Structure formats: structure tokens, C-alpha cells
Structure 1
Amino acid sequence: MKTINFNIKCLAIAILYCSSIIGFSQNNKRENKIIKAVDKHSKEAIELIKTSVNINSGTMNFEGVMKVGALFKKELDQLGFTTKLTSGQAYGRAGHLIATRKGKKGPKFLMIGHLDTVFELDSPLQEYTMLNDSIMKGPGVADMKGGDVIIILTMKALKEAGVLDDMSIEIIMTGDEEKSGKPLELSKKDLIEAAKKADIALGFENGDNNPKTIVVARRGSTDWKLTVTGKPAHSSQVFTDKIGTGAIYETSRILNEFYLQLAKEKDLTFNPGFIIGGTKIKQDDDGTGGHAFGKTNVVSQETIVRGDLRAVSLEQLKKAKTIMQNIVSENYPQTNAILEFSPGGYPPLSLTEGSTKLLGYFNTVSEDLGFGTVTAVNPRNAGAADISFTSAYVDMAIDGLGLTGGGGDHTIKEYGNLNTVATQAKITAVLMYRLVNSKF
């Protein structure tokens, strides 16, 4: 009897083992189809990058932004997505490309790109050049037309492998990531609404241009303005009870205290971008500078400082604002100071347990496919981006999945490594396949 039971147990184990081998083989077979499809379509993806890079889509060139949007819309139409190009008139920009498809199972994905670049029509960099057989220099090749094309290539591979129909996906390529329209609540409305419906957000910015890293946390960014007033008088009366220190001394005190009290806060930065002060000052209309009048023998009456504040979490941002306001309130004699923070701004992409887990899944796929280990980017090396607007709604979010291995972002030397297009598409496509089929 014991022998029979033993044999039955052995048989059951054998059946389970064989089943697992068959399942593993089928999974590998499907993933191999995905990988082969990426390789099959990589050359046309590179051509699509070249075509899009040669279309000027500086944020304020609305016609160019929409032309790039139409180019990518055509690609997604052919893959069975329901697509539309929106109007950005309400917030003073070109609008967005939105593409959706509803699947049968698995999590809902939000994939994020942007159509615009920092290279306007007056930029000296308007077309791509190949520095060698794989390094492309061009306007927006890394930030982020390469990432947009990786999204499209990923979708093509999933469709050809026969698994795209299972997936619920919304793709949003914004038209104003580099210079957001105002009001921000209208500019980012479509993105936020998509985030509310999503389970997983995938951003295709180029991260820190290192193919061995992925962004799991981004710092948010908001602007601030410091306005300081003092009592004008002959310089011989400075420091008296009646005249006090003047506006410039009070401004110096405030900025120095910002540094002393906050500079050691991990991942927090606060940068005064410009300062003007004197007897009379006048700001430029665009808020990027101005001029001042003053004399060496006159106590300064007015000072204005404009800067930005970057924090890795909403809690850190709130704490920093409180400390800065407290510093501003402790005025030198006969001075007054007001610190104002701009409404809106880019929120932080806070680090979550879900995002850390998603990075682990991404790393597993990368290692399984032979591309090596992938780790998290230091948040200090990851600026604000559209994915940050998902932070309050999506627990699992990673960014930096775009074209990488480059540099010179936002300059006339911007370049990217085209060899990373296929690599990033393969990892992303297999990651999505496994997530939908619960293979982690």
C-alpha cells in the first residue's frame, strides 16, 4: 500500500513538473515571438525616429507639434488604437495625442511620451546627423522622440506576437511637456484623468541616459518669488534704528538662512535664479530678469529674487516651504519680505512600494533577456516630467524607458544611442506581457 501511494505521489510530481516545463516553454515561445518582432521592426523604427526628429516641434511651434502627433497617430491607428489629437487652445499650446485600446485581462497601462522639444524654429539644430553607425545627434532624439518611437515599436511587437488584444492601454503623448501650458489643471487634465483609470504608469523619457538605470522617483518643481523692501536713505544712516539695514542686506540674510537651514536636506534643492535690487527696480514682462537703479551712497529700497524649489516628496516640499516662510518672517530692522510660491508646478513622483516592486520586475526581465542588471536613478539626477502627475493616482510607476545612452539634452549637442531602441522595446514588451499574464 505504501508502495502504491509512493508511486502515485511520484506520478503527481512528474505531471506537475511536465506541466510546468510545458508552461515555461510556451511562455518562452511567446516571449521569443515578441523579441523577434522587435528585431523585425527595429529598422523602420529608426527611420521613424529620423523622420520625426527632422520635423521641428519646439513647444511653441504648434503646427510642428501637431505634425509629429499626426505622424505617430498614423502608426497607432494601424495597430488598432482609437486615437485623437486634442486642441490645446484652452491652455495656449498645441494639444496632445491620445490613443486607447481595451483588453480582456490584466492591469490597465498608461504609457507616457511627449511630442514637443526645446528646439524652437530659431534653434541652430533642426535636423539629425549620424555621428557614427549608431549615435544620432538631433533635436529631441533623446528627449524624447526616441522614447515615443519605443512605445510604438513595443506595441508593434506585442501585436505581432498575438498578445496586444489582451491588454488595456492608454498612450498619451503631450504637446507641452517642455513648456507647460497655463492653467496647468487644463494642460495636464487628460494625463491626470488617464492616471485615475490606470494601474501602472510607464514613462518613456530618457532618464539619466544610462541604460542600466530606471527612474522610480522624480523630484517635483515649483517656482518662488521673494520681494523685499527697506527704507531708502543716505548710506550714512544705514543700521540706525530709524533706517535699518535696507532691502539688499535683508535679502542676503534670507538667502543665507535658506542655505544654512536647508542645504543638507537630502534630495532638496532651492536655487535663486536671478536677483535685482536697488533704489528702484523694474522686472521684465516675461519674469526672466529686469534692471535696477541705485547708487553706492543710497540704502536700497527694493529687491526681487526669483528661483525654483525641487523636492522628492510632497511631505518634503511642504516642510521646506514652511521653513522658508519662517525665515522670511524674521526681518532685519525696518525691512519687510514676502515669499510667494507659484501655484501648480510639477509634483514629485514619490517613491512607493509599488514602484520599487515594478523596478524589480523590470530588472528581472532585463536579466532574463541578457541585458544585465537595472537599478534606480538617484532622484537628484531626474528632473520633473509628465509622469509626476500620476503620483497621486498610480502606485506602480517607472520612467526612463526611452532611448538612452546619450547626452547633451536640451542643447545643440543632444544625442542618443539608437542601439538602445530595440533593447528598451524588448524589455518593456516582455514586462507588459508578464504583468498581464501574472508571470511574476
Structure 2
Amino acid sequence: MMILKFNNKSIVLIVLFCFSLLGFSQNNTEESNIVKAVDKHTESAIELIKTAVNMNSGTMNFEGVRAVGSLFQKELDKLGFKTVLTNGEAYGRAGHLIATRKGKKGPKFLLIGHLDTVFELESPLQEYTMLNDSIMKGPGVADMKGGDVIIILVMQALKDAGVLDDMSIEIVMTGDEEKSGNPIGLSKKDLIDAAKRADIALGFENGDNNPKTIVASRRGSADWELKVTGEPAHSSQIFTKDIGAGAIYESSRILNEFYVQLAKEKDLTFNPGYIIGGTTLKPGSDGTGGHAFGKSNVVSQEASVRGDLRAVSLSQLIQAKATMKKIVSENYSKTSAELIFGEGAYPPLTLTEGNLKLLEYFNSVSQDLGFGSVTAVNPRNAGAADISFTSEYVDMAIDGLGLTGGGGDHTINETGNLNTVATQAKITAVLMYRLVNSKL
């Protein structure tokens, strides 16, 4: 038997006996009704996925993002949610879909999806095709219109089973997960505010495309830029007291020390995406490259490197930044360097005891329903996602509850396995029911 207490956003978990993780029978009538309701609505859910996938909603196609938001808004309106499509003009994006219901008991849930995809209007992939009877290829089918529809299917099943009214639920489907608005603090404010009101966060991204895994921890992502300067001179004077090593050598030293001092840190990565160096630089305005002028017989005066840093916890991120800054400060002769971390960072979803407990519950439900065991995704296989913004505020969070696919995310080969729609919806709906109806 498991006792859950929800008091001022804290969850006290006391295990009394080794008896079915939450003390519920597989033959529970409400759970059976939930499962039957998922089956009843699965076909229409798949049709909704097809409709949504064929609507272009690349992040910068604001009209398309809002159209997909309106599509899902209508479905949630039917289920009794209070919905709103927000205006994202202040942070340069389309806005978000927010839906709320106030229940009578249990924890407050936050369900997270996103409306946008990486496939803009110029993408060659604009509509779905069926590769066989269950594998759909299409823009955003797995990341993450399939997950959005699973959220709706879960809500339909809970309503049909007569248990939705008990639940306090807030759904946030952001319009800029793939390319965050600026400033990011304003872009993610609605999501963070919802997290502050919630006890449990459930994310419906597609994880690592393995239905046997769930995300209990995600690495955060921060951009960085390294700017290096040196003394220009004829190459014959390099390494002299007055000229020193030049900007390119100093860049090489810094990058090599990053590798030497940090490469063995578990789950930490720091990738230099591009480097340019020479006598003069013309960096691109969008931060994706640029041009350099230089000659083989001239000591380099400037160098620029851009990359990203991914860490599995806030403490790891802070320590890595400190190490990198120290390395940058120990310059070769006659050189200087500056390391700048971008403001648009995604925080880590830190692995917590609460997250692990929630994963245990999900695993128990999956086994009770006959779908087998579920384990945690290796955080190296889980990129940054919106659920990470809840990490400081909720007691429990897991992600990867969405439609799983065959890979190819963010490419013209993105696929989703429609057989996982009903499976993911059943496990999630029963999980929510059990959490709400646990003995207090």
C-alpha cells in the first residue's frame, strides 16, 4: 500500500507494505473503463494526428502554429477545459495554447506539449505518408504532434470514464519549443507559472523513440561564444616576446584544455560547432558561421568559436562554466580571450527522488496493463525540452510520454509508430487516475 500526502506542494511518500505499488487492482472498474475509452477514441485520435501533421507549423510560420493551436483548442473545449491561445508578439513567436480544469482532489497536474515543428514552409517535407499500416512519415509526427494528440486522447478517456472532473489539470502547448522566443524568460513565463502551480509535470515529447523507456532526466543546453584576440605580425615573429602565439593558437589551447579537463565528466558535453580565425573576421548575423580573411604568413589577430554546453544538473552546469572560464583566463602570451554564455539557455531536468518515484509508478502501471517494464532513458539520449523549465518547481516530473517513432527526428525522414498512441494514452490515463485516487 502506498500513502501519498499533498501538502503545500510537497509529496510525502511512505511505503508500508510490498503490495502493488499504489495498492490498486488490475480489475479496477474505473481503470477498465479508462482503457476501453482509449480504444474507443484511438481511431479518431489517429485521424487528428494526420490532420495536424499536414498543417505546417514551423516555428516561424506563426499563422500555421496558431492554426494547429486552434485545432487542438477545439478538442479541449469539447472536454470542458477553459482554453486560451496567447499572443507571442512580445517575444517574437506565435504564442501558446493553455487549457485548464479545476478538480476536487489529488495533485495538480501540468501536461506539456508544443505546437511548432522544425519544418518551416520551405521544407521539402510538408505532408504525411504511411510507410506501412502503422508507421507514419511526416513533419512533426513524433516531435511532437503525436504527443499533443495523446494528451487529448488521455483527457477524452478520463472524461468517458467519469473521472476527469476529479482532476486539476493545466495543459501548456508552447509555440516555440523548437526555436525559443527572445527573451526566453518571457517566452517561457506561461510554462514556468504553470509549473509553480503544479505538483506533477508530465511531458509528451517522444523521448528516445523507445516505448520501453521514459525520461526522468534531461540535459540542459546553453550556447557559448569564445572571442580571442592576438597581436598581428609577420609569421616569422610568432612566439616572440612582443608578438606571442596569435589568436588561433590561443583558441586551440582553450579548446584542448576544455577537452582535457572536462571530457571525462559523466553526461557533460561541450561541442564547438564552428571556428573562424585570421586577420579579420566577418561573423554572420545569425550566429551560424561567417568569413575570415588571413594569410599563411600573418599571425592571426582574431578568432571566434561558437558551441553548446549540455549538463545533466544545475550544479554540473555551474561547475562546468566555472572550469571553462578559468581555462579561458589563462592566456598565452600577448593574447586575450572572452567566453560568453548565451541568455537563451534551457535548464537541465535534474534527476530527483520524486522523478524516480514517478517513473516507478509509470512502470507499475505499464506492467499492470500488460505492456511490460519501462526504464529511464540515458540522459545522453534526451535533448533539451520544455519540461526542463519545471524542474525547480514541481515535486515529480517525467517526459517521453508521447508517440514513439522510428527515428529521423528533425529530418525529412521523421517517423512515428501509430501503434504506440493507444499504449501511451492508456498508461498515462491510468497513472493519473491512480495518483488522484491514492489513499491519503
Q: TM-score per shorter chain, which class?
A: over 0.9
SS in 1 for 2:350: coil
Match of 1:376 in 2: 376
Match of 2:106 in 1: 106
- Unmatched 5+ stretches in structure 1: 1-19
Q: Which moved more, 1:279-288 or 1:101-110?
A: 279-288
The residue type paired with residue 262 of structure 2 is L
Deviation for aligned residue 1:406: 2.3
C-alpha distance in structure 2 between counterparts of 1:285 and 1:206, whole Å: 33
Deviation for aligned residue 1:28: 1.2
Match of 2:249 in 1: 249
SS in 1 for 2:228: strand
CA displacement 1:50-83 (0-9 Å, x = unmatched): 0000000000000000000000000000000000
Match of 2:392 in 1: 392
CA displacement 1:118-150 (0-9 Å, x = unmatched): 000000000000000000000000000000000
C-alpha distance in structure 1 between counterparts of 2:298 and 2:29, whole Å: 80
Deviation for aligned residue 1:343: 1.8
**Poorly superposed stretches of 4+, deviation over 4 Å:** 23-27
Q: What is the correspondence of 1:219-298 to structure 2 with a 5 Å cutoff?
A: 219-298=219-298
The residue type paired with residue 99 of structure 2 is A
C-alpha distance in structure 2 between counterparts of 1:326 and 1:345, whole Å: 21
Greater helix fraction, Structure 1 or Structure 2 = 1
The residue type paired with residue 183 of structure 2 is P
SS in 2 for 1:292: strand
Match of 2:408 in 1: 408
**TM-score, normalization: structure 2?**
0.94
RMSD: 1.3
Deviation for aligned residue 1:413: 0.2
Match of 1:198 in 2: 198
C-alpha distance in structure 1 between counterparts of 2:367 and 2:203, whole Å: 20
Q: What is the correspondence of 1:80-119 to structure 2 with a 5 Å cutoff?
A: 80-119=80-119
1:319 correspondence with 2:326: no
Deviation for aligned residue 1:395: 2.1
Q: What is the correspondence of 1:314-393 to structure 2 with a 5 Å cutoff?
A: 314-393=314-393
SS in 1 for 2:39: helix
CA displacement 1:386-438 (0-9 Å, x = unmatched): 00000010120000000014210000000010000000000000000000001
Match of 1:56 in 2: 56
Structure 1 residues 127 and 439, CA gap change in structure 2 (3 angstroms): farther
Match of 1:307 in 2: 307
SS in 2 for 1:150: helix
The residue type paired with residue 222 of structure 2 is T
Structure 1 residues 254 and 162, CA gap change in structure 2 (3 angstroms): same
C-alpha distance in structure 2 between counterparts of 1:329 and 1:293, whole Å: 26
C-alpha distance in structure 1 between counterparts of 2:182 and 2:375, whole Å: 35
Deviation for aligned residue 1:332: 0.5
The residue type paired with residue 308 of structure 1 is D
Deviation for aligned residue 1:161: 0.2
SS in 2 for 1:228: strand
When the two structures are aligned, how many residues end up with a matched partner? 419
The residue type paired with residue 96 of structure 2 is H
Deviation for aligned residue 1:26: 9.8
Match of 2:77 in 1: 77
SS in 1 for 2:28: helix
SS in 2 for 1:338: strand
C-alpha distance in structure 2 between counterparts of 1:109 and 1:395, whole Å: 11
The residue type paired with residue 278 of structure 1 is G
C-alpha distance in structure 2 between counterparts of 1:196 and 1:261, whole Å: 37
Match of 1:151 in 2: 151
Match of 1:174 in 2: 174
Structure 1 residues 235 and 146, CA gap change in structure 2 (3 angstroms): same
CA displacement 1:157-199 (0-9 Å, x = unmatched): 0000000000000000000000000001110000000000000
Structure 1 residues 230 and 43, CA gap change in structure 2 (3 angstroms): same
C-alpha distance in structure 2 between counterparts of 1:25 and 1:415, whole Å: 36
Match of 2:10 in 1: none
C-alpha distance in structure 1 between counterparts of 2:26 and 2:368, whole Å: 16
Say whether the 8 Å CA contact 2:53–2:145 is kept in structure 1: yes
C-alpha distance in structure 1 between counterparts of 2:25 and 2:258, whole Å: 60
Q: Which has the larger radius of gyration?
A: 1
C-alpha distance in structure 2 between counterparts of 1:338 and 1:124, whole Å: 40
C-alpha distance in structure 1 between counterparts of 2:25 and 2:394, whole Å: 33
- Unmatched 5+ stretches in structure 2: 1-19
C-alpha distance in structure 1 between counterparts of 2:334 and 2:401, whole Å: 54
C-alpha distance in structure 2 between counterparts of 1:209 and 1:26, whole Å: 27
**TM-score, normalization: structure 1?**
0.94
- Percent identity (aligned): 82
Say whether the 8 Å CA contact 2:180–2:344 is kept in structure 1: no
C-alpha distance in structure 1 between counterparts of 2:46 and 2:342, whole Å: 40
SS in 2 for 1:64: helix
C-alpha distance in structure 2 between counterparts of 1:76 and 1:280, whole Å: 56
C-alpha distance in structure 2 between counterparts of 1:138 and 1:420, whole Å: 16
Say whether the 8 Å CA contact 2:134–2:419 is kept in structure 1: yes
Deviation for aligned residue 1:287: 1.2
C-alpha distance in structure 1 between counterparts of 2:189 and 2:224, whole Å: 24
C-alpha distance in structure 2 between counterparts of 1:218 and 1:126, whole Å: 29
